[in-house]
Amino acid sequence: MRMVFTVDVEDWFCSPQLSLSDWEGYELRLEKPIHQILDLLDERDSTGTFFVLGWIAEKRPDLIKEIHRRGHEIASHGYSHRLVYHQSPKEFKQDIRMSKDILEQLIGSRVYGYRAPCFSMTDWGLEMLIEEGFSFDSSIIPNTLNNLYSKFNLASSVNHAFKIKNDLWEIPLPIKRFGGVNIPWGGGGYFRIYPYRFFNLGAKGIIENGGNFVFYIHPYDLDNEQPQIFNTSWANGFRRYYGLRDTYLKIKSLLSDFKCTSISKYYPRIGG
C-alpha cells in the first residue's frame, strides 16, 4: 500500500504561543530527529515532502540543502509559524513570499507546495497562494472539532486530492469518521497517542476504501528530551508530549508496512 509521507520542519519552540523574537533564545534541536527521519526513509528507499519554515531554513541552510540532495521534496511551511487567520492578507502574503524565496534560493529549484501552521488555512489564504505561484496546499483536516484547524466543509472530498480554487490543488489530511465526528488520522500527536496497530488499521482502511493517505510528523515528535516550557492545558500537554520515546520505532514500522513517497511523486500532475 502507498501513502504520502510529509514532515513539518519546525522546532520544539516554534509555537504560536511564542513570538518570533523569542525564538532566538532557544536551542535548535531538530537536526538529530531530521537525520533520523532521513535515514529511515533511505533504509526503505522512500521519499517525502518536507514543509520547511523559512526561519529554520535561514538558521540551518545546510540541513535543508541536505534534505533536498537526498531526494526529497522541499515545500513551504511559511516563514514565522503564525496562524494564517491571525495575520492580515498583506502580512500572510509577505510571509509566504519570504519563505518561498528563501527556499528556492537554497535548493535552486521551484517550490510548489505549502502547508499552513497548525492547519490554519483560510479562503483568502488560498487566493494568496495562487497569486504567489503555488500549485498545491496541504493544510486542511476536514470538519474536525479542533479549534485551531481550518473550517472548510469538504465532506464530499474527504481523503482525496481535489482542486479547491482555480488550479490550486488541495491535499487534505486524512480523517476517520466515528459516531458522526471526523477524527484526525494523519500523524503528529495523533500518531504518538494511538497504539501503532490501531493507527495502522485506520490507515489501511482509508486506503482500501479508495482514499489517499497523507502522513505527517514533526522533528520534535521524536525528541524525548525536549524542554517543556509551554503553559498549556492538560489535554494540549498530553497531545504534545505523550509517546515521544516510541515515535522512532513507530515510524520505522510505518515505513516497513507502507510504501511512502512525496506529494509530487504521488501526484505527478500536481507538482509541476
Taking the domains of the chain in order of start, what are their residue ranges? 2-266
Low-confidence ranges of the chain (pLDDT < 70): 143-157, 230-238, 271-272
pLDDT in tens, 87-114: 999 999 999 999 999 999 999 999 999 9
- How far is C-alpha 216 from the chain's CA centre? 5
DSSP readout, 223-255? Answer: -TT--------HHHHHHHHTTGGGHHHHHHHHH
pLDDT at 151: 66
Cα gap 152→139, rounded to integer Å:
11
Q: What per-residue confidence (pLDDT) applies to 144?
A: 65
Question: What's the rounded Cα separation, in Å, for the pair 157 and 165?
Answer: 13
Burial class (CB in 10 A: 0-12, 13-18, 19+), 83: middle
Distance from C-alpha of 186 to C-alpha of 190, rounded to nearest angstrom: 7
168: its cell numbers: 490550486
pLDDT in tens, 246-257: 999 999 999 999
Place of cell 512525496: 262
pLDDT at 19: 84
CATH top-level class of 2-266: alpha beta
pTM of the model as a whole: 0.95
Residue among 145, 249, 254, 239 nearest 203 (CA) = 254
